[in-house]
Structure formats: C-alpha cells, structure tokens
Amino acid sequence: QWNDVVALPMNEGRVSPEKKAGVEGYSGIEASIGMTRKTYMWFDLAHRLFPTARYITKGDDDIFLRVPLFVAHLRLLPRRGIYMGLYALSTLRVKDCSIDVLFMIGWCYTLSRDVAEALVSYKPLRRLAYLPYSKEREEDFFSIHMQHEDVMVGRVLVNELHYMPMVYVKVPDCHFHDARNGTGHSLVVPTSMCVHHVREEDYAALMARFGNDTSPVARVDRVSDDTIYPLCD
C-alpha cells in the first residue's frame, strides 16, 4: 500500500509510437495534452489538499531534487507572486500573430499558492482540462498551447491573466541542470539542486553525495521588483 501517491481521474493519452520509454523526445500531441491536463489537475488538487502550503512544485519523474537546498531557497523568497524555475522564452504563432511567452522549463518549477490558485481558476483552461482529446478539438487545445504544459503555464499566467505582481525566480544552471553532458560525463557539482534525466542507478550515488547535507546555505539576489536570482557561490 502506498500513502504518498495520488491517482488522478484522467486518461493521459496515447504516446506516439516513435517515443521510447526513458529516452528524451516528444511524446506526441495527445500524450502532451494529457501531460498538461495532469499538471492542471495537480495544481488544482494541491492547493486544496494542502491548505497551508505556501508553494506548490511540479516536477518530472526523472529528476533528483536536493530538498534541503531547495527549501533553504524557498525560505528566502516572498510568499506571494512567485514563479520559479529554469527561465525560458518561446515565440509562438497564434492566429497569424507572433507572441512571446516567458515560462519556466517543465522538469521542475514552483508557484506560490496565490499564483497556483490563479492558474487553476482560469476558465478556458479549466474547461479544456476536463475535455477528452480529439483531433477536432486540437485548435481549442492549441489556443492556450496545451501541447506543451510548461509553455501553457507561462502563457496563461503572463499573457492571458497578466498576473500581478509576479516575481520571477530565475534559477541558474549551476543549480538546475542535466545529469550528464552530450558525451556522457557527469554535470553534478556541489551547487546542484535539481538534476534532470537521472537514471535509476544514479540515485544511490546522489544520495551518498548529498544525503547528509541537511543544512545547506542558500543566497539570493533580488535584482529588481520582479526578478530574483538564486546565487551559486
């Protein structure tokens, strides 16, 4: 019996036949919209299931999160308006127009409670999150970019809701990074906080390295009213 797993009432969608388990790549439109649906349901559930939680995080299942260091950074942040992660910019074509979308890359990002509540209260997203996928509905799903869940979150919060005041916590790649480079060499460093594309056999080594570091030091730099950088030195 598991006490820390929540099964959501949804169908994640069929994965593209070209997608291989454990290998990076696009899962296909239907499965990607399913991922967005699951992300929505997680934030919608979490803010009600954990009524005192100040922050809610979405993470992939192939990350190693160094929780003490992560929490040490959260303690230095404002309690409201937080959108934290590995920052990215995407230019989207929407009805023959180009729009810039600021978002946090999907393998680990965090919203403060108020931001998560705003996200799940957006009615077009709520409606689409509970509709099953069909080819005929693709244009509706694409209207808020549900084929990429991380881009969708930024699109809704920044471009649709214009949520204010927002504080972007832009985590540098000395803290959030892949487990290995293109030649297979480890990228793990003393400042690693969230390591992506972790293999099953990596967890023991990462715990041996970081498991006893229960009181790490965190520092942040607030460079403007809407931007904070976690520091690495």
> Does residue 84 fall inside a structural domain?
yes
CA distance 150 to 108: 9
CA distance 8 to 186: 35
CA distance 127 to 122: 9
> Does residue 19 fall inside a structural domain?
no
Per-residue pLDDT at 17: 45
pLDDT (tens digit per residue) in 206-223:
999 999 998 899 999 999
Q: How much of the chain, in percent, has pLDDT values that exceed 90?
A: 71
> Does residue 39 fall inside a structural domain?
yes
Position 151 pLDDT exceeds 90: yes
Structural domain boundaries, residue 37: 29-230
CA distances from 2 to 9, 84, 217 (A): 17, 29, 33
Q: For all residues of the chain together, what is the average pLDDT? A: 90
Domains held by the chain: number: 1
DSSP 8-class letter at 170:
E
pLDDT (tens digit per residue) in 105-144:
999 999 999 999 999 999 999 999 988 888 888 888 988 8
> Does residue 5 fall inside a structural domain?
no
Mean per-residue pLDDT, 85-97: 86
Mean per-residue pLDDT, 5-20: 63
Considering only CA atoms, which of 175, 149, 161 is closest in space to residue 232? 175
